[in-house]
Amino acid sequence: MTDDDLRAALTAADPARSTDLDPLTSPRARELLERAMTSDLGTTPSTSPHVEPPRSRRPWLAAAAAAVVLTGAGGAWLAYGSDPADQPSGEQLVLGVPDGDPAIMSCLPVSAEVLAGLPLAFAGTVSSVDAAEVRLDVTRWYRGGPESTVVLRNADERLQALLGTPDFQVGQDYLVSASDGSISVCGLTGPASPELQAAYDEAFGGG
């Protein structure tokens, strides 16, 4: 089967091949476009990804920094405090634990596809754990960076309550991903098991 044959077979299986779409001139399209254009340019919706432009890693730094600067602006995802000491330096990035009621949380299987949508990911070794803070020495940035240390704030009882979030142990290696200033849970962040490592490699390895 040639590449063309394969592409044709896939095209035949395209679920949107004959889907009726709203034209750009439809009332719904106009409403959505107007809503976007009248939205506040200074904030980021909770569903906004920090998508990296092709082949450039610097904008991620800006995105991560912006997320921290926005602390206190009311974003439910920004779980860290507004203490100036929380601001990231060139060497330290601060992340929080996502808001959310553990009783109604749910998870899909961990997959490279889900991981690949996350703007921050790194491998690190836990250097300290105290009542409300976990520090990790970064050993490899998959996406984002280049801070050498990541501090996870609010990692106390809520971390335990968020099912699927790992219990951090000093000296252990972890794979950590994050979006909107909060680490991802549901098994997407966890001890560096071969399975999770394979998922990270697939999602961020670039080949």
Partner 1 sequence: MEDRSQRFEALAAEVWEPLQRYLRRRCPVDVAEDVLADVLLVLWRRLDDAPAGAELPWSYAVARGCLANARRGAERRLSLLQRVRRERLPEPAVPDDRVSAALARLRPADAEVLRLWAWEGLEPRDLATVLDCSAGAAASRLSRARTALREQLRQDEGSAGHRTSREGEGAPR
Site for partner 1, rule CB under 8 A: 1, 3, 6-7, 9-17, 19, 21-24, 29, 32-33, 35-37, 39, 41, 44-55, 59, 100, 103-109, 111-114, 116-119, 143, 163, 179, 184, 186, 202-203, 206-207
Structure token digits, residue 189: 């962040």
Based on CB atoms, which residue is closest to partner 1, 53 or 171?
53
Based on CB atoms, which residue is closest to partner 1, 49 or 72?
49
Q: How far is CA 122 from the centre of its chain?
A: 11
What is the smallest separation between the CB atom of 71 and partner 1, expressed in angstroms?
19
Based on CB atoms, which residue is closest to partner 1, 45 or 72?
45
Based on CB atoms, which residue is closest to partner 1, 33 or 69?
33
What is the smallest separation between the CB atom of 23 and partner 1, expressed in angstroms?
8
Q: What is the DSSP letter of 51?
A: P
What is the smallest separation between the CB atom of 75 and partner 1, expressed in angstroms?
13
* 105-128 b/e (C-beta count within 10 Å ≥ 16 → b): eeeeebeeebbbebbbbbbbebee
Structure token digits, residue 33: 């476009």
Of residues 158, 46, 151, the one with CA closest to residue 94: 151
Give Dmax (Cα) for the chain.
Answer: 61
Pairing of strands 190-191, 182-183: unpaired
Residue 108 to residue 97: CA distance in whole angstroms: 18
Based on CB atoms, which residue is closest to partner 1, 105 or 129?
105
What is the smallest separation between the CB atom of 22 and partner 1, expressed in angstroms?
7
What is the smallest separation between the CB atom of 130 and partner 1, expressed in angstroms?
28
Residue 134 to residue 44: CA distance in whole angstroms: 27
